[in-house]
Amino acid sequence: MSRKDKALKSKIVLMLFCAGLIPAILATPAMAESDLYGRFKQCYDQMGSDLATRPPAEVAEISAFVYEKDVAMFTFESGRIYLLRKLEGRPITAIFIGKGRAKIEVPSHVESQSLLFASKAATVDESFEVAFINFADDFDLRLREKFQFKDDVLPWSDFNRSQQGEFFFKPVIMHTYDHYFQLLRSLFERRGDGYFWIDFGRHTYSFDPNRPEEVIVGYEHEGGDTQPTDGAVMQRKEKAMYDDYRMSDISYPTTVLSREGELRMSGLDGKYIERAAIDLKVLVNADSLRFVSLFLHHNLKLDSIFCNGAPVEYSRRGSFTFMGLMLPEYHYKGDTLNVRFFYHGKEYHPALPFVENPAPSPHNLTFDIHTGYNYAMPATTPLESAESGRTRFTCAPVEPYRMFQFQPYAAGYDTVTVVSDIGVTLNFITSKHIDKSHFENFIPFEQFQPTVTSAFNFLTSRLGPPLATFAEYIYPEPTGSMPGLIGVSQTTSHADGTGGLLMEAAESAARQYFGALMQPKTDREYWLMEAAPEYLSLMAVWHQISPNVFFGELGRRRNHIYDLLDLNGDRPLATGTRMEAAQMRSKGAWVLHMLRFMMYNLEGEGNRDQTFWRFINELKTMTNSGLYTNEDFIHLTEKHYGDSLGWFFDHWLYARNIPEYNVQYQIVKRDDGNYVTADVRTDKVGESFRMPVIIRVASEGGQSVYVRQMIEGIQDSFELGPYDFTPKEIVFNEFHSVLSKDKVKKK
């Protein structure tokens, strides 16, 4: 059996397993089922039926058929095509067997670089012999204009050749959206620019008019993947949003204006949501809207939904975050929907429903809890008595939140209070069950408390008091960090010679400034939420342990990037949440490190990082006081750098790969002094690449001079001097001022 056949066989097994494990749920509250809901449910059920049962089909021999869909052009040169799954009077599935070719241009630079990561090509120009298509546009009508179809059945052999597409399309837990729902919502508004999804070879392509970014070019990165990698994601061609700086201008269909409601908490640890009644006030941004995309953590079980006071029908699969509302009538731009959710469950993050738009909103939440239980979160009122054995409190922060978290901790915890260097109260929550008898890697409180306090003092001395709070709670277990809450594990093993506990504590504390209150305009800005806390934790290591340990930790992150490069796994930071968090942290921290040393004062005494810390402080204010984009970040950086930085961000934010410098230098003595001359070849990057590199010129007697030298293009040379001392050597890329691989040789 070939590798491909084995992969397909494993996919069939997984597909059947998932079909049994994740049943589709189309729910209607206790009311008469609407005509729309009944038709939608029937279509949804038919979408899940197995094509391998030889369903009825229409078939035609076709040739020279060209179908353009936004940035893609599909040429079906010759072969047969089946039209299947007739819903609402029209087919929605097609299987093509024959010879075809797909060409997809990716006019966005950042997304062509992202596709390069996925498929090793920045565009698509591929032949195919099999294509599996699901559509709710005019694809079938265009075919019927040119070709005669006859009734037939789908042979098993032809379905067997196309089943990879069926597998990829079936909604499984890893999908952000329910493909069935997205296709059907387009089907019930069938237009020429409706839904279109095609699997051909290792690629998929989709156009979904009901997503904020309608175009996705996917790629089966590894044989046996359970879903294609999203290589390129863009808005439709007519919007012409292809400039890297404008990719964050996304028109989201809805915006949450506020989140209010009550959560009744129970469970031994106080983490179980026994009952939640949450109101989302949702603004309609789309021209018209009847099907609404909403999201709720998949571990939370949805009981019912009401919209504007009336029960509303919805679709949600088990273990799916996505849910789709079917409103009884259309709503239009500027309308407000008051959506109330009733749900329950545990092991959730976050606890509240949300929409695609990450814009923050005000929160007003009432918690009903067991008496004696404690919850760490910002802006809470004093406890009030409720029914026997229960108390209530309200949380209503002044600041808007994108995602809201809270940390319950039951009775049996004590609090040790410490005052920081600038007068902020640090409440260390201690637990009797966290000790050396229960955990091999237990860190004694006598070590834990001063280390965490030291990390906190480092940040507050440079960034001021934390945002939106006057008291901090230090929770001794891994958890999210919200204003007023810093989660630092007291049971984690830390290797010698690393940043250890200090770095973990500083990273968690840094999220008080770069965390829950940040307001990224889109997913494309999320990298900064990971990068800033990561790099600030490294700077704490620099100042409170040693620069050597700092560079060791920075080197570990560089090695992670090298490993990704070896696997063709590097992708642009501006792809946002499509990157893994660890990759955002490693690469993002290096971007901040390079910016730091571009602002670093190489001369004089005192604080050589003064400009960088001014930049970080203003960045803190900008990202927490309103929506920010990558372009805003660039403009702020240029303000503190003092010059344009387009050349820097074109590569480090919007492109991929790292330079490899090959340097050959020599010491030259002339009448007016001593010089260093060097030739540099830069590989793995393009002709337009340029970076300032810090070079240390060292003398025989231990004297050193620092120089910032701009290296441009693939081949460059430079001369340093004259010096009144005899240089012994140069240290190229001192302070690791550039993320690069360096080979330096003295002639």
Out of 224, 246, 268, pick the residue that ends a domain: 246
Structure confidence at residue 533 (pLDDT): 97
Is 150 inside a domain boundary? yes
Helix segments in 380-437, DSSP class H: none
Q: Are residues 111 and 10 in the same domain?
A: yes
Query: CATH number, domain at 451?
Result: 3.30.2010
- Of 601, 634, 652, the last residue of a domain is 652
Residue 736 three-state SS = helix
DSSP-derived 3-state class of residue 312: coil
Q: Total structural domains in the chain?
A: 5
Q: Give whole-number Cα distances, 23 to 171, 207, 305, in Å.
A: 10, 26, 20
Q: Are residues 423 and 539 in the same domain?
A: no
**pLDDT at site 231:** 93
Claim to verify: residue 213 and residue 236 sit in the same structural domain: yes
Is residue 685 located within the same domain as residue 570?
A: no
pLDDT tens track for 535-552: 999 999 999 999 999 999
Report the alpha-carbon distance of residue 329 to residue 35 in Å, rounded: 12
What is the distance of C-alpha 321 from the center of its chain? Answer: 16
Radius of gyration of the chain (CA): 29
Q: Verify that 621 and 677 share a domain, yes or no.
A: no
Give 657's strand partners. Answer: none
C-alpha span between 724 and 684 (Å, rounded): 37
pLDDT of residue 718: 97
The segments of the chain whose pLDDT lies below 50 read 1-23
**Residue at 584 is within a domain:** yes
644 and 545 in a common domain: yes
Yes or no: say if 314 and 44 are a contact pair by the CB < 8 Å rule.
no
The reply to whether 508 falls in a domain is no
Torsion angles phi and psi, residue 319, rounded to 5 = 65, 25
Query: pLDDT value at position 9?
Result: 39
* Claim to verify: residue 239 and residue 269 sit in the same structural domain: no
Closest CA to 536 of 556, 514, 562, 507: 507
Strand order in the sheet with 471-475: 413-419, 425-431, 471-475, 485-487
What CATH number is attached to the domain comprising 606?
1.10.390.10
Nearest to 25 by CA among 178, 189, 195: 178
Q: What is the rounded end-to-end Cα distance, in angstroms, of the chain? A: 57
CATH for 716: 2.60.40.1840
Q: Is residue 503 part of a domain?
A: no
State the pLDDT at residue 439. 67
Residues 142 and 178 grouped into a single domain: yes
User: How far is Cα 360 from Cα 605, in angstroms, rounded to an integer?
Assistant: 43
Which two three-digit tokens encode residue 428? 């260390």
Model pLDDT, residue 481? 79
Q: Note whether residue 403 is domain-resident.
A: no
33's tokens = 């089922």
> 12 with 100, same domain?
yes
Residue 130 · residue 97 · CB < 8 Å: yes
CATH number of the domain where residue 307 is located:
2.60.40.1730
Give the residue carrying structure tokens 């009775």: 411
- The pLDDT assigned to 654 comes to 96
In a domain, 331, yes or no: yes
The total of other beta-carbon atoms located within 10 Å of residue 147's CB is: 14
Residue 144, in any domain of the structure:
yes
The distance of Cα 164 from the centroid of its chain, to the nearest Å, equals: 27
Say yes or no: 639 and 679 in one domain.
no
Neighbouring residues of 629: CB distance < 8 A, sequence distance ≥ 6: 248, 520, 521, 522, 524, 525
- Segment 387-443, tens digit of pLDDT: 889 999 999 999 999 988 888 875 567 889 999 999 989 999 887 777 666 667 788
Long-range contacts of 471-474 (CB under 8 A, 24+ apart): 471/424, 471/425, 471/426, 471/427, 472/424, 472/425, 472/426, 472/427, 472/512, 473/376, 473/407, 473/427, 473/429, 474/426, 474/427, 474/428, 474/429
Closest by CA to 467, choosing from 452, 480, 484, is 484
DSSP per-residue string spanning 488-537: --SS----TTS-HHHHHHHHHHHTTTTTTT--BSSGGGTHHHHHHHHHHH
Domain, as residue range, for 158: 3-246
- Tell me whether residue 402 is in a domain: no
Same domain? For 361 and 264 the reply is: yes
Greatest pairwise CA separation for the chain in angstroms: 98
Q: Same structural domain for residues 242 and 260?
A: no
**For residues 598 and 719, what is the distance between their CA atoms, to the nearest angstrom?**
20
Q: Which of 498, 524, 555 is the last residue of a domain?
A: 498
